[in-house]
Structure 1
Amino acid sequence: MPRDERHTETIPYGTLGIIPLASCTEMGKKVDEYLVKWREQRQNENTSTLNFAGYKRDSYIVNAKTPRFGSGEGKGVLVDSVRGHDLYIMLDVCNYSLEYTVCGFKNHMSPDDHYADLKRVIAAAGGKARRINVIMPFLYESRQHKRTGRESLDCALMLQELTDMGVENIITFDAHDPRVHNAIPLKGFESVSCTYQFIKYLLLNVDDLHIDSEHMMVISPDEGGMGRAVYFANVLGLDMGMFYKRRDYTRIVNGRNPIVAHEFLGTNVEGKDVIIIDDMISSGESMIDVASELKKRGASRVFCATTFGLFTNGFKKFDEAYENGIIDRILTTNLVYQPSELLSKPWYINVDMSKYMALLIDTLNHDSSISNLLSPVERIQQRVKEYNELHYGK
């Protein structure tokens, strides 16, 4: 059943309200535009009833602020009413571009600051919203998801804290380890994959791909990313390879055991285009090392697709890798902050996730199943079929 037709048969859970925090303003505007357009076009004989009150509006954004005092302390303020609303609070904990002042000194906002602002807005709602959902594309503290030695379990603590505050659903994208859901087994938690969007934007930007096992291969840069690489390879009918990291566990450098070498497991990559699929690019050293190893083994072109492009050490190494023919294109999403410098790079492909996020919100607000959105196999295969017909007539 088409999405719009399905939604005319279900009653919204509550009046839809979107609260994009300052870290997620641009994404929030795009999502709001999609929702306004879809609901304006949607025909439903029941929209005049009380159950559909406020269904069609010029904007679904609820005005919220998180100002700070001169000491650096903050507060959450809701300018608009949220009573009876089905709220979707959006934030990007990786947006380091925002600043605040402490006693005259400028501070860049850290993930901790963004998370504190989220809690302030939830607290400002004061239990008046009908349901609170949090959309946190990069899951806060998701890299600290397990304990090795005497360590904190930050991600689990965060999930439990939010649900204790009344959050019903937490939606994230490509969680570093989705098993953190075990911390809140009785609450909604979705780790959404970006597979369809990666394939869509790769096909839109590269005209001469041959998507078959003779010409293309999917690579996981480490053992932790095996699951997403297996799925990616299976839906495209490709072979898969994997690297594993040999580390020096006798030393700790910058908080981690240094990588000694990347060892490859898989079939021959010679002459094939390869897609390296991962959840994030942090400093990028591992990604470039893996791409270099693939080139040494005779790979043709190297495409890197990661959900979150953090680029914590800047872009210099990626510029060099592109100039040296090690990496051809890099795809990351707009789920986290993208500096203008990144958007101007010749090797960069921006994967826009705003429409997909709007689809999730629209569907959840109608209390409908999102299963087909989480596993878009048919849409992927249709996209590949259209690409082959356009470029190769088959």
Structure 2
Amino acid sequence: MLQRSQRVLETIPVGSLGLIPLKSCEELGQKVNDYLVEWRHTNELEHKENIAFTGYERDSYLIPAHTPRFGSGEAKGTIDDSVRGNDLYLMVDVCNYSLTYKLYNYTNHMSPDDHFQDLKRVIAAIGGKARRITVIMPYLYESRQHKRSSRESLDCALALQELVNMGVENILTFEAHDPRVQNAIPLHGFETVTPAYQLVKGLLNSTPDLQIDSQHMLVISPDEGGMSRAVYLANVLGLDMGMFYKRRDFTRVVNGRNPIIAHEFLGTDIEGKDMIVVDDMISSGESMIEVIRELKKRGANRIFVFSTFGLFTNGLELFDKAYEEGCLTKLLTTNLVYQTPELLSRPYYVSCDMSKYIALLVDTLNHDVSISDLLNPYDRIQALLNKYQEEHPQV
């Protein structure tokens, strides 16, 4: 990772930095805040005492915000501190189903819709007083409903338009299901960030005997939609790639989709090679498990699964079974969405922390400096690979 000390940020900040992680994103927000506090206390900034840098160095950049609910399920947004003139960064995890609220006499788990409404409530509580508002939404709300097929709602596009109409200037997300959804807000900032560096780092740190070359390893895309992701990773690591495509039964619809008949493989021989299966998200995990089993049938050695978002909507039973059978070696996802204690306790699971990367993005944007070099992790991954090869010369 590019160190904060290597970045020269001498430009005047857009405004006094404020970080507002909603309750769904509290833990990640606290880690981001800790990095920012540490960097700004230790940074030898030439103009730190200048009036333009008032409030630059603080013990915390967190601004308390709450979204209390009434017994009917209705809610409101409140902010405890003044935010006038601040450069605000709001963080929300729309997938955090662990949070609950009372609805009449029932306990209701928060859905993505609830989290999105709470985000809008906090923006409404800001009341236009902030200098600039940036929303950091790691899992883009409704991102799987990104294009229209016949008479359907375009929820993601509508959500983005709602945010910018409320005064949001920039939206930061990770691995948007289809980045073209930004066409809905062409005059505002929209960045989709890849966690490729953190996933590769997690793999290298947890596995000491990898041979990262095209003779011993292959990158696999589990479907045609993730091809560009797999192509990028294969190019960066200097590997070949293969892909599966889903053969579907277009004569039937089950749970709103045409059922998958089979996974067909396109690519070179995989006998005895390690596999990196890369996808943007694991929802139920059924498709991923089918891909893993198909790779094992074809003679794959170890199988490592990379996924930005591990939702595990049907629990971990499928992955537990695959691990016990020797089909799954390691499962790596980020902490950008809620992780259950059960997931964190699994022997095959590796959590990739994204807080430092987010802090770098926030720190850089607050200075109104380009983040282009942060968005392309190629050089950092190469440095990581070189270091790994030096530390493991026998491999």
- TM-score clears 0.5: yes
Alignment of 1:162-201 (within 5 A): 162-201=163-202
Query: What is residue 35 of structure 2 aligned with on the other side?
Result: 34
| Distance in 2, Cα, partners of 1:7 & 1:166 | 30
Query: What is residue 267 of structure 2 aligned with on the other side?
Result: 266
Alignment of 1:207-222 (within 5 A): 207-222=208-223
* 8 Å CA contact retained: 2:9, 2:364: no
Query: What is residue 360 of structure 1 aligned with on the other side?
Result: 361
* 8 Å CA contact retained: 1:7, 1:368: no
Return the offset for 1:251: 1.5
| Distance in 1, Cα, partners of 2:64 & 2:76 | 14
Query: What is residue 54 of structure 1 aligned with on the other side?
Result: 55
Query: What is residue 138 of structure 1 aligned with on the other side?
Result: 139
| Distance in 2, Cα, partners of 1:101 & 1:9 | 48
| Distance in 1, Cα, partners of 2:8 & 2:80 | 30
Return the offset for 1:78: 0.6
Return the offset for 1:250: 1.6
Q: Secondary structure at the match of 1:299?
A: coil
Counterpart amino acid of 1:114? H
| Distance in 1, Cα, partners of 2:36 & 2:83 | 18
Alignment of 1:70-81 (within 5 A): 70-81=71-82
* 8 Å CA contact retained: 1:7, 1:366: no
Q: Secondary structure at the match of 1:392?
A: coil
Unmatched 5+ residue regions in structure 1?
none
TM-score, normalisation: structure 2: 0.98
The answer to whether 1:18 aligns with 2:14 is no
| Distance in 1, Cα, partners of 2:263 & 2:289 | 11
Alignment of 1:77-92 (within 5 A): 77-92=78-93
The answer to whether 1:106 aligns with 2:107 is yes
Counterpart amino acid of 2:93? D
Query: What is residue 347 of structure 2 aligned with on the other side?
Result: 346
Query: What is residue 241 of structure 1 aligned with on the other side?
Result: 242
* 8 Å CA contact retained: 2:172, 2:192: yes
TM-score, normalisation: structure 1: 0.98
Q: Secondary structure at the match of 1:123?
A: helix
Counterpart amino acid of 2:325? N
The answer to whether 1:160 aligns with 2:173 is no
Alignment of 1:217-366 (within 5 A): 217-366=218-367
Return the offset for 1:2: 7.2
Unmatched 5+ residue regions in structure 2?
none
**In the comparison of the two structures, how many residue pairs are matched?**
394
Counterpart amino acid of 2:20? I
| Distance in 1, Cα, partners of 2:9 & 2:233 | 33
| Distance in 2, Cα, partners of 1:2 & 1:298 | 41
Counterpart amino acid of 2:111? S
> For each residue in 1:99-134, what CA deviation from the matched residue of structure 2 results, as whole angstroms up to 9, or x when unmatched?
000112100000000000000000000000000000
Counterpart amino acid of 2:101? Y
| Distance in 2, Cα, partners of 1:173 & 1:38 | 24
Return the offset for 1:320: 0.4
Paired-residue identity, % = 68
Q: Secondary structure at the match of 1:167?
A: coil
Q: Secondary structure at the match of 2:356?
A: helix
Return the offset for 1:369: 1.1
Structure 1 residues 2 and 203 mapped into 2: Cα distance closer, same or farther (>3 Å)?
A: closer
Return the offset for 1:8: 3.7
> For each residue in 1:298-336, what CA deviation from the matched residue of structure 2 results, as whole angstroms up to 9, or x when unmatched?
110110000000000001111000001111110000000
Structure 1 residues 4 and 390 mapped into 2: Cα distance closer, same or farther (>3 Å)?
A: closer
Structure 1 residues 272 and 5 mapped into 2: Cα distance closer, same or farther (>3 Å)?
A: closer
Return the offset for 1:255: 2.1
> For each residue in 1:224-266, what CA deviation from the matched residue of structure 2 results, as whole angstroms up to 9, or x when unmatched?
1011111100011000101110111222222221111001111
| Distance in 2, Cα, partners of 1:172 & 1:45 | 32
Q: Secondary structure at the match of 2:211?
A: coil
* 8 Å CA contact retained: 1:217, 1:269: yes
Structure 1 residues 243 and 103 mapped into 2: Cα distance closer, same or farther (>3 Å)?
A: same
Query: What is residue 373 of structure 1 aligned with on the other side?
Result: 374
| Distance in 1, Cα, partners of 2:158 & 2:210 | 44
RMSD between aligned residues: 1.2
